[in-house]
Amino acid sequence: MDVWVESRPRAVGVCGGQGAGKSTLTPLLVEACEARGLRCAALGLDDFYLDARARRTLAERVHPLFATRGPPGTHDARACLAAIRALREPGEVRVPVFDKGTDDRRGERLLQGPFDLVLLEGWCVGARPVGAAALERPINALEAEHDPSGAWRRHSDAALAGDYAALFGALESLLFLRVPGLDAVRRWRLQQESQRPPAQRLDAEAVDHFVAHYERITLAMLEDLPGRAELCVDLDEDHGVAALHFRDAPGIGPA
């Protein structure tokens, strides 16, 4: 944390696979910043999901898989970028609140700027497009059965090259929670479901199907982000910290 405080970035991304611990870590970072006298605002990329009606329209216009929130193309990336910029200035900033239980937006919250630091937490924060050649072949059953033409994954990749690139380009540092693999993501996501109201929980089969929507980009991030993030935190199978890697510095791990 001292490294970041001294260099004073004003916008930091916190990223990692589903269940990695982003939403647990982010409030702790806010507390640590405030203990050092920095006003810190935390935004969740998830709160900028398009509402259910807009996603239905996207699903009808582009591809049915866009009815499911998560992949690039299902957020209002422009609004998120505008909020990050506004929070650095004096004045009130209204940001949306998304309810995953109802799968829709549920109002707004009001933040009072200016903030010294804005944290943006989200599973695909920092992700980059992979390009047409990498999208040719399906990588799982979801893509093979529901996106054989590649229209869904091409649209998501184009979104990463457009509004999302502008949003992530505004981030001056990245903290990447590197999951040990997709099996851990599925397991941790299922554990998260146990904390939700019973009527809103996904079972193991539904979690597998849901995580498949994220698989391609999650795997790409596991290849790309460790070399780009200012801090990469390796997580072990039990959700513990296995090692810390600061960019251009030796890793720190168990003795």
User: What local confidence, expressed as pLDDT, does residue 198 receive?
Assistant: 79
**Residue 75 neighbours by CB distance under 10 Å:** 24
Residue 52 CB-half CA count within 13 A = 9
Cα separation, 61 vs 217, in Å, equals 22
Domains of the chain: 2-240 (3.40.50.300)
3-state class percentages of the chain: helix first, strand second, coil last, to nearest 5: 45, 20, 35
- Tell me the Ramachandran region of residue 37: left when phi exceeds 0, alpha when psi lies from -120 to 50, beta otherwise: left
State residue 18 phi and psi, 5-degree precision: -60, 135
User: What local confidence, expressed as pLDDT, does residue 17 receive?
Assistant: 87
User: What local confidence, expressed as pLDDT, does residue 171 receive?
Assistant: 96
Cα separation, 39 vs 1, in Å, equals 15
State residue 249 phi and psi, 5-degree precision: -140, 155
Using alpha carbons, list the distances in angstroms from residue 10 to 38, 176, 214.
10, 17, 28
Six-digit token pair at 159?
């979104």
User: What local confidence, expressed as pLDDT, does residue 163 receive?
Assistant: 97
User: What local confidence, expressed as pLDDT, does residue 3 receive?
Assistant: 46
Cβ within 8 Å of residue 42, ≥6 positions away? 26, 27, 29, 30, 118, 119, 121
User: What local confidence, expressed as pLDDT, does residue 8 receive?
Assistant: 61
User: What local confidence, expressed as pLDDT, does residue 9 receive?
Assistant: 66
- The alpha carbon of residue 34 and the mean position of all alpha carbons in its chain are separated, in whole angstroms, by 23
pTM confidence score = 0.89
Give pLDDT < 70 ranges for the chain: 1-9, 249-255
Q: Looking at this protein, which amino acid is placed at residue 169?
A: G
